[in-house]
Structure 1
């Protein structure tokens, strides 16, 4: 699924929504920025590089959930929605599962940092 974004830094590493993004009863507001998916360069060939269109919707929603911690959302639920969106946006399942494993294994610090803001 294509979403309306603007690349907002010279390296193309920050993406900003130009309009609200509606997913599963959530609204990620226009103006929200994301790095697209924090996949280390070493893993790009295995998973996907930041900015991959098949991952952007999932990345925006996941980043927003991690930063805002809306009522009723746990880290586990945010990560499961990330996986669901990757698969529904035509990411090959093995890559989606690898990305999900990455956020499950290494996303704890980002989740805690979001809560402190």
Structure 2
């Protein structure tokens, strides 16, 4: 399992209780990978998520967390997917220890399918993984294009 550190949701210095409650309800918890983490993909390739990477696991609205918790069954596929979405690639270490790009430029559909496949590999509950994958097909475009705009800068 990856070693993760929760990043605080900033509510402390917000002046209004209503605003703090709003932030608590609608903010998505972010996590920082504390130690480099490796994972063997369904195709057998061992990828690396570098220490320091920050992610939200799955941008799932809080009312759906009971079914699609970003820190439950979807944590591992969400971590890998968030890294792949951010950089449009994964990385692995070669024999010399250098990070090498893996499937660079594979695109949104590829990473969404990998999310589903890793979920099935990790938790074996295909219904949940397919449901989350369908949500990605519908709602993942905003995040995908946001990262691509950042790439252009």
Question: How high is the TM-score relative to the length of structure 2?
Answer: 0.67
CA displacement at 1:113 relative to structure 2: 0.7
Query: What is the CA–CA distance in structure 2 between the aligned matches of 1:3 and 1:27, rounded to whole Å?
Result: 11
- Alignment correspondent of 2:70: 50
| Count of residue pairs the alignment pairs up | 114
- Please tell me whether Structure 1 or Structure 2 has the larger radius of gyration of its CA atoms: 2
Deviations 1:18-64 (A, max 9, x none): 12233444322111011121111222233x22211x32111111111
Higher relative contact order (CA 8 A, sep 6+): 1
CA-atom RMSD in angstroms: 1.9
Query: What is the CA–CA distance in structure 2 between the aligned matches of 1:15 and 1:9, rounded to whole Å?
Result: 9
* Counterpart among 1, 26, 34 of residue 18 in structure 1: 34
- Alignment correspondent of 1:27: 48
Structure 1, gaps ≥5 residues long:
none
SS of 2:135 mapped into structure 1: helix
Question: How high is the TM-score relative to the length of structure 1?
Answer: 0.85
Runs of 4+ in 1 over 3 A off after TM superposition: 23-26
